Amino acid sequence: MPSLTELSLKEMKTGLRDEQFSSRALVEAALERIAQLEPSLHAFLYLASEYALKQADDADSVRATGQSPLQGIPIAIKDVLTVKGMPATAGSKIIEGFMPPYTATAVKRLQEAGAIVIGKTNTDEFAMGSSTENSAYGVTHNPWDVSRVPGGSSGGSAAAVAARLVPAALGTDTGGSVRQPASFCGVTGLKPTYGRVSRYGLIAFGSSLDCVGAFGRNAEDVAIIFEVMAGRDPLDATSAEVDVPSELVSIRSTNTGYSTDAPLRGLRIGVPQEYFIEGMQVEVQEKTRAAIAQLETLGAEVHEISLPHTEYALPVYYILAPAEASANLARFDGVRYGPRVEADSLWDVFFKTRGEKFGSEVLRRIMLGTYALSAGYYDAYYGQAQKVRTLIKRDFETAFEGVDLIACPSAPTTAFEIGAHKGDPLAMYLEDVFTLPASLAGIPGISFPVGFDNKGLPIGMQLLAPHFREDVLLNTTHVYQQATDWHKSHPKGYAL
Amino acid sequence: MPLSPQEVEHIAKLARLQLTDEQKARYREQLEAILEHVAKLQELDTKDVSPTASVSVGQMPLREDEPRPSLSKDELLKNAPKQDDGQFQIPPVFE
């Protein structure tokens, strides 16, 4: 049998059920691998080793009485989601030492299904960034090449899954923060439909955009996590009252209903010309085209389509997200949580605590958002951005009248060097150019590996679907992964 | 999109951020570059387009209006940098 950390989540489930190994053995193997690789990766901000071992023993003792879907399986949680009993930092100094009084619904559902939270993973401060370089606690290194970023903002979770520290991890995606790091780290990452997974217990960034998503080494594992955490939650008024489709289950069996020679027959895939642009890495274009051709071989129909307002997604996002962030982050004032910079007046406590404890990207976005919402500029910036958001949403609605899925690159490049975009925020923002439109439209997307560039760095492709059609994303990715081996490749960037 | 130093000062004040002169100068320059990029949105005629504030789809029923226990005061106060007598403690607001 291969080393326990090599097993997929599904294989862990089976192995536990058949008593081939214990949950304690799984957790010990994970902790051992973390101890070995963390010095070169820094994927975690907090490790709950003792808690995880105790949970594993508990899981082992109840196994005889029946198995919950994730019983005894170690997972990691991005440190913008609260887990009671574990500190939450959101990658920021402004709530350093904060002990959340409750657990996020998404995490709670996983725990209730038996999952063991082994630790909290690194993130750009308040999930603002595309590289984890904006974490106040240091950058995470890409397992494929430790001189490079893992992407972001959920870079810690993506790196942890890629390096086989955990079989699955939660991330969040506001403008691409699951899909882009999944692409950079060669793993499968799902951003669900807006409202599909409760945001209760997620430290808010852009409330009309924030989604809780999941990373795994393949679509099957991501589907298992997604199914457990999705669904209406009375504690989040924006969580949708829409059933989690039962078709998802088919991905875990043998794709009954699909013919084996052409399992994707009848599926119409649109390829938007606006996502193949000058300046993007040529190999990303080539590998994405090759993957689309593979989907065609598997039975899908491929159509060229147009999403004409794509180029406006970046300016729309960089008005709306900072505007929402500037309001959400107003609560961090040195009064109720986190450290306080003492001063003689309350006014000065606010100014000094916020000025000193927020990092530079967060300050920049608060400034930008405050400006866009300020008197005299509101209509020109915020109002106009909201209207163009409507146009972007309509682009997708029109496209989905003719196709079931959209296929495009996840990011314009593969993982870049740490420090490559230092001092140039706009260059960093351009990293998200292919993930932002779906976030603005609130539709689900998945990124999965489709090849490597000439430096051996993974390339991700993105599939987008209409609202609440995560089932089509997961099934199609699964069919692709049955026919290809890209998702099985092992990173070799770290010293062992 | 030029921003004056006074405007940068004003935004920082609205956002309750104490910034150094060096930060103010850098953010002024960076915000100008970002706003220049964002100005692209003005190209589009949106006279007849309604704004999108939320992308929620389908029903969002309110939860049952029933009393339920809230988080304990002690638990919430535990995270405060300063507390006294069951309350958050702050410097004087009025002199």
The torsion angles phi and psi of A406, rounded to 5 degrees, stand at -120, 135
Of the ranges A13-27, A143-157, A481-495, B23-37, which one carries the lowest mean pLDDT score?
Answer: A481-495
**Separation CA B33–CA B2 (nearest Å):** 9
CA distance, residue A1 to nearest chain B CA (Å): 46
Give the distance from CA A60 to its chain's centroid: 30
B73 touching A (Cβ < 8 Å): no
Contact criterion met (CB < 8 Å) for B90 and A335: yes
Contact criterion met (CB < 8 Å) for A391 and B64: no
CA distance, residue B76 to nearest chain A CA (Å): 7
Contact criterion met (CB < 8 Å) for B61 and A440: no
Provide the CATH topology of domain B5-43.
Histone, subunit A (1.10.20)
A242 touching B (Cβ < 8 Å): yes
CATH superfamily of A4-308+394-488: Amidase signature (AS) domain (3.90.1300.10)
pTM, whole model, 2 decimals? 0.96
Per-residue pLDDT tens over the stretch A60-99: 998 766 678 999 999 999 999 999 999 999 999 999 999 9
What is this model's ipTM? 0.95
**Separation CA A371–CA B15 (nearest Å):** 9
User: Hey, what are A209's tokens?
Assistant: 């955009």
Contact criterion met (CB < 8 Å) for B44 and A349: no
Amino acid in position A221? D
CA distance, residue A174 to nearest chain B CA (Å): 13
Per-residue pLDDT tens over the stretch B17-48: 999 999 999 999 999 999 999 999 999 999 99
- Residues A248 and A471: beta-carbon distance below 8 Å: yes
Nearest to A343 among B58, B88, B91 (CB): B91
In this predicted structure, the answer to whether residue A346 has a pLDDT above a threshold of 60 is yes
Percent of chain A scored above 90 by pLDDT?
A: 89
Per-residue pLDDT tens over the stretch A417-458: 999 999 888 889 989 999 999 999 999 999 999 999 999 999
Contact criterion met (CB < 8 Å) for B53 and A386: yes
Contact criterion met (CB < 8 Å) for B60 and A195: yes
Concatenating the DSSP letter of every residue in B63-88 gives PP--------HHHHHTT-SSEETTEE
Taking only Cα atoms into account, the Rg of chain A, rounded to an integer number of angstroms, comes to 21
Concatenating the DSSP letter of every residue in A111-147 gives HHTT-EEEEEE--SGGG--SSSTT-TT-PPPBTTBTT
Q: Where are the domains of chain A?
A: 4-308+394-488
Chain B residues inside the 8 Å CB shell of A241: 58-61
Selected for mutation to probe chain B from A203, A344, A367 (highest B CB count within 10 Å) is A367
Q: How far is CA A474 from CA A25, A52, A479, A492, A494, in A?
A: 30, 29, 9, 27, 30
Q: Where are the domains of chain B?
A: 5-43
A84 touching B (Cβ < 8 Å): no
User: Hey, what are B33's tokens?
Assistant: 């570059």
Question: Chain B window 7-66: which residues touch A at a Cβ cutoff of 8 Å?
Answer: 7-8, 10-12, 14-19, 23, 27, 30-31, 33-35, 37-42, 44, 46, 49-64
Which are the catalytic amino acids of A? 78, 153, 177
Residue B72's closest chain A neighbor by CA?
A: A101
Cβ of A174: how many Cβ atoms within 10 Å? 29
